[in-house]
Structure 1
Amino acid sequence: MISYPYIEEYIRQWQEGKIILNKRRIKLLKLIERDILTADDMYFDSEQIENYIAFTEKYYFPLTLTQKFKTCFIFLYYSDGSLVFDEHLDYEGRGGGKTGRISTLANYFISDLHGIDNYNVSVVANSEKQAKMSFTEVFNKIDKDDRLKGHFHHKKALIEARVTKSVFQYHTSNANTKDGLRDGCVIFEEIHQYENSSTVDVFTSGLGKVPNPRIFYVGSDGYVREGFLDKLLERADNILDGQVSIREDGLFPFLCCLDKEEEMHNSEMWQKANSQFHPPLTGYAKTLLRTVMKQYNKLEHNPDGYEEFVTKRMNLPKVDLEKSVTSWKKIMATNQDYDLDELKKRQCIGCLDYASVRDFVAMGLLFLKDEKYFVPKELTHSYICKPFADKHYAYSKEKSENNNKKDHRKFAPIRKWESDGLLTVLDIETMDPHLVVKWFVDRRGEGWNIKKIIGDNFKMDILKPLFEAAGFEVEIIRNPDAASGLLAPRIEIAFQNEQVIFGDNPLMRWYTNNVLVKRLPNGNKVYRKKEEVKRKTDGFMMFLYGVWASRDLEEEVDFFLDAISF
């Protein structure tokens, strides 16, 4: 049995109702009580814990009970001296003191109090401004304190400990310019902006060359979905839910967020998303609370800030329903199972969006069954012109070049989706309409009963004769905006009721998440792009047209050959 006073006090305050925790942190406490405090092969290094706390409170600021609680698990070891947690996820609402804390950790880790030679620390962020924040804070502390100057050399871009020769420096997440550093600790800021793990992979490749390597992931939530943060949170939840043990995965998941959106209207619940709001409030926390309260009060007159407030301050991902088709949760709910053999007995609509001849075209078959819309993953496909893919998604670049400075933000993993069979990149300047028609002809040849082909009027003057020559009936939507206005309520209800089924199709989820819903002065809603060039919506518009034509599908129609007795 092991324990530590800060842990005992934190648990006691929660049990007595003195602090309010969200469900994820309650799970964490239960995990600690079950798997750590009962362990006979673990120990807390009290000397390191108290040294860090004393160092921080002497040179920086008083630590809250929550911060002391988290510190214990940084210096938790197995009996063989290895770390129990070599990765730490600090996921908390904006203003939670995350950046200040990593400044003190970075300074302590390179110091002779920590006592490990060449224990270099790097902080990594997307922007130089964010990356420099912790470094600048440490630099300024040393610059103003002669006692610290006696222990550290501080230079413009590097701070070095005189005794351990450990250095602290900052980097932007331009992953392809780094081959991996000889670090003891890497701290990743702004993790909500990482669209994949490439930055993390590069900067952690040099770990393991000094004892006790550590990784810290720090940030609030953001607007990048299915990116690095979502996958990291899924990993953390697996640990908290007991699906993976801490002995298998050494991630310490400290997750602060509201449990449900309605809690944002009760300021007492805000401490679920931000541990600074646990009583008693520090001077910093009192100022922060006034700021957040002012922002909340402004929402009544400035509803455009609602999404930002819920996502950043309350740490609960929120997609403004006035701007997006539906929430990310409902987009993810499109990943439902279906029976292709059962669908093959039914008629379907062949739908396509051919918005531009130089970039994307999306095609698919839509089925209607039990008031649900099925666009199976196996029966959708997109074509992309290679020049467009090269220009906007760095398609032809080698993997190591995929995140260079000019194209550090990858909007879509085109190569991955191509290898998964969701799309084809065509080495042509403009789209060939014959390829589009052939895709539907091939699906018909596989036995799919396509009742008609539907698309908007763009390029259908060319496609319609080709489809008709191939024996298809064709319907053209002359005014897509008018159709959108009529269909918007049906689309919203279908997503809300989880009646849209794409299967596990990240390309269709991407298309859908890229859609901007704009309300016209007459009250009608039309569908636009959140970003005009790179965030494509072709697959969603293809789905929309299919829904329009689904009125011609009979709910219980079996494939006509089944009714014939040979």
Structure 2
Amino acid sequence: MLHNQYVEDYIKKWKCGKLLLNKKRILLIGLIEKHILPRGDLYYFDEDQIDNYIEFSEKWYFELDEWEKFITPFIFLFRKEDDEPVFDEFVINMGRGGGKNGFISTLANYFISPLHGIDYYDVSIVANSEKQAKRSFLECFRVINKKGHEDLEEEFEAYKSSITGLSTQSVFEYKTSNASSQDGGREGAVIYDEYHEMETTEIVDVFSGGLGKVDCGRQFFIGTKGFVREGYFDIKYRECEDILNGLIEFSGVFPYICELDDLKEMDNPESWAKANPALQAPLNKRGKRLFNTVMKEYKKLAYNPSGRSAFVTKRMNFIEDNMENSVASREEIMATNRPFFELNTKPIGSLDFGSVRDFATCGLLFKKEDEYAFKSFTFAIKHFCDVHYGYSNTNNDFGTEKKAPIKKWEKDGLMKVVDEPSLNPIHVVNWFIEMREEYGVEKIVADNYKLDILRPLLEAEGFVVDPIRNPRAIHPLLAPRVEDGFANHKFIFGDNPLMRWFTNNVYVKETQVGKQFLKKEEVKRKTDGFQAFVHALYRAGELDDEVDIDSSLDALEALNF
């Protein structure tokens, strides 16, 4: 059994109700108690390194918070077999003002010191802007050159662009995240500051390539939730979720994520410590100053609601659905998960595919009074699914809607993955033939641009093919029907997480001619099922002889967007 004073004190304090933690930190403690602490046969805490780091930090910088002392032992947790770190990636995500930059300042300075004792253990801090990258570096520079810190000046050579540990010849530098101008060196540690602003994995790929050339390589990802969606932050955050939920082995990545569990907690200042451990009662001097700042910002929202998004995201570390951008809220999307009513009327068929080399979705739209039921089926190309979703990887049996567990959806009968270079149209034709036998579908609505091959095949089987000459032209006038349908829970997809995923991947863009339903991300976040649903809604008036909107839509179709 492994023991460490700081880890045990932190867990004990939480269990005694003296520490307020959010769900993800509680899950983290569960993993530690199950997979780490009982394994004294495999791992060991380097107590000398732990104590040296804490003493170094508190002598020259500041007293460490409880959360920093809790994480520290896991930075110096090693495998017995090779003396390498059990965790070589640390994801530290919390509300603004929590002390992330101070923590990495002390770590960077310690790593290049003789106390750490690894020669040539270079440390690079990477951020999107030079100002951000220099923040922790300047803190180290000022501490070393501060009057009365002559002992540090003897150990470190501090210039405004680099700091060198003289005995280890380890160098601490700051760099901007321009992958084209960088090259992986021989870093011992790389710190990615405000990593939520990274749009791609490119810069991480560059710097991680330099790790492994010295002992005990480590990476630190620090930040607060931002506004860049489907960037590197979302990729890392989902990986952390999978680890905390037991879908990925708890080794390698240490996820310390502080956030509100529910946005309603924003209105209870006692819950703010869930998002920011610096606000944990009892507050120290810095915590009181931060609490007063956050409280002032919170009170301003009463007469300046435009600041809500920034406050929720940056202070509460919570991403709120933006109804101006999302086609529906999560609650509205989940409300589509209801049993179908009796499908005993003739439906409208529909079809959408972005490319014959990725996805294609077929659907049937039924109507009963004010409700619409959409029954769908998707075909996907195996190569595309392997490249973008790891379809053939056995771990893809698990996942959430965000992770796109293609294999699970296929096992559930929601889709079929075909091993073909491009989709054979006969799959689509045969599906509609089966649906005609079961439900009597006769008309199929689809994008005219993509009907070159399919239209003659469908018409040869006796279907009426209704082409939409300009699909985007129908969006502005269909938008009220779509918004009303989701808001008032008129749409039913059945228990179909694939359709919910399609819908969640859509955002609404305001244009000069009205609203457009577009993809949140061009490649991985597919929307074919949702677009097939919209195509069917285009002819929904024919399902019950309602006065439809065709005459207005025909005029819009003629416009060239």
TM over 0.5: yes
8 Å contact from structure 1 (residues 185, 213) kept in 2:
yes
1:108 offset after TM fit, Å?
Answer: 0.8
Q: CA deviation at 1:319?
A: 2.3
Query: Which of 359, 365, 368 is the equivalent residue of 1:368?
Result: 365
Per the alignment, residue 484 of structure 2 pairs with 489
Secondary structure of 2:21's counterpart equals coil
Q: Aligned pair in 2 of structure 1 residues 166, 298: CA closer, same or farther (>3 Å)?
A: same
Listed as ranges, the gaps of 5+ residues in structure 2 are 382-419, 424-446, 546-561
Does the residue aligned with 1:294 lie in a helix, a strand or coil?
helix
In the alignment, which residue of structure 1 is the partner of 2:29?
Answer: 29
How well do the aligned residues superpose, as a CA RMSD in angstroms?
4.2
Give me the whole-angstrom Cα distance separating, in 1, the residues matched to 2:336 and 2:80: 44
Partner of residue 415, structure 2: none
Deviation by residue 1:150-195 (Cα, 9 ceiling, x = unmatched)? 2111223211111111011112222233331100001112222233
Alignment partner, residue 163 of structure 2: 159
Percent sequence identity over matched residues? 38
Q: Distance in 2 between matches of 1:211 and 1:62?
A: 28
Other-structure match for 2:455: 441
Q: 2:261 aligns with which of 259, 263, 266?
A: 259
The structure 2 residue matched to 1:179, chosen from 178, 183, 190, is: 183
Q: Is the 2:125–2:175 contact (alpha carbons within 8 Å) kept by the matching residues of 1?
A: yes
Deviates more, 1:318-327 or 1:68-77: 318-327
Residue matched to 1:356: none
Q: Kindly indicate whether residue 232 of structure 2 is the aligned counterpart of residue 228 of structure 1.
A: yes
Could you tell me which amino acid in structure 1 is paired with residue 203 of structure 2?
T
| Contact 1:377/1:502 (8 A) holds in 2 | no
Q: Which amino acid aligns with 1:367?
A: L
Q: What is residue 197 of structure 1 aligned with on the other side?
A: 201
Q: For 1:452, which of 466, 469, 489 is the aligned residue? A: 466
Secondary structure, counterpart of 2:191 in structure 1: strand
After superposition, the Cα gap between the structure-2 partners of 1:351 and 1:65, relative to the gap in structure 1 and judged at 3 Å, is: closer
- Deviation readout 1:93-125 (Å, 9 max, x if unpaired): 121111111111111101111110000011111
For 1:369-411, what per-residue CA distance to the aligned partner results, in whole angstroms no more than 9, with x for missing partners?
583445655499xxxxxxxxxxxxxxxxxxxxxxxxxxxxxxx
For 1:194 and 1:329, the matched residues in 2 are separated by: 29
Q: Select which of 523, 540, 551 maps to 1:550.
A: 540
For 2:515, the aligned partner's letter is Y
- 2:117, 2:168 within 8 Å by CA — same for their partners in 1? yes
Give the SS at the match of 2:452.
Answer: helix
Provide the rounded CA distance (Å) in 1 between the counterparts of 2:485 and 2:246.
Answer: 39
- Once the two structures are TM-superposed, the CA of residue 240 in structure 1 deviates from its matched residue by 2.2
- Asked if 1 retains the 8 angstrom alpha-carbon contact of 2:240 and 2:255, the reply is yes
User: Are 1:83 and 2:88 matched, yes or no?
Assistant: no
Distance 1:334 1:451 in 2: 31
* Counterpart among 77, 91, 94 of residue 92 in structure 1: 94
Q: Give the superposition deviation at 1:89.
A: 0.9
User: What residue number does 1:388 align with?
Assistant: none
Q: Confirm or deny: 8 A CA contact 1:351 1:546 kept in the other structure.
A: no
Is 1:53 matched up with 2:54? yes
> SS state of the match for residue 438, structure 1?
coil
Q: Flag the 1:68–1:554 CA change in 2: closer, same or farther, 3 A.
A: same
Decide whether aligned partners of structure 1 residues 117 and 448 sit closer, same or farther in structure 2, where only a CA change above 3 A counts. farther
Divergent runs of 4+, >6 A: 328-331, 333-336, 419-422, 495-502, 504-508, 529-532, 534-542
Aligned-partner SS, 1:503: helix
Partner Cα separation in structure 1 for residue 321 and residue 19 of structure 2? 29
- The whole-number CA distance in structure 2 between the counterparts of 1:487 and 1:446 is 33
Distance 1:420 1:287 in 2: 61
Aligned-partner residue type, residue 264 of structure 2: E
> Structure 1's 547 and 307: CA in aligned 2 closer, same or farther, altered over 3 A?
farther
Distance of 1:495 and 1:148 partners within structure 2: 68
Q: Give the equivalent residue in structure 2 for 1:119.
A: 121
CA distance in 2, matches of 1:26, 1:77: 23
Deviation at 1:251, TM superposition (A): 1.0
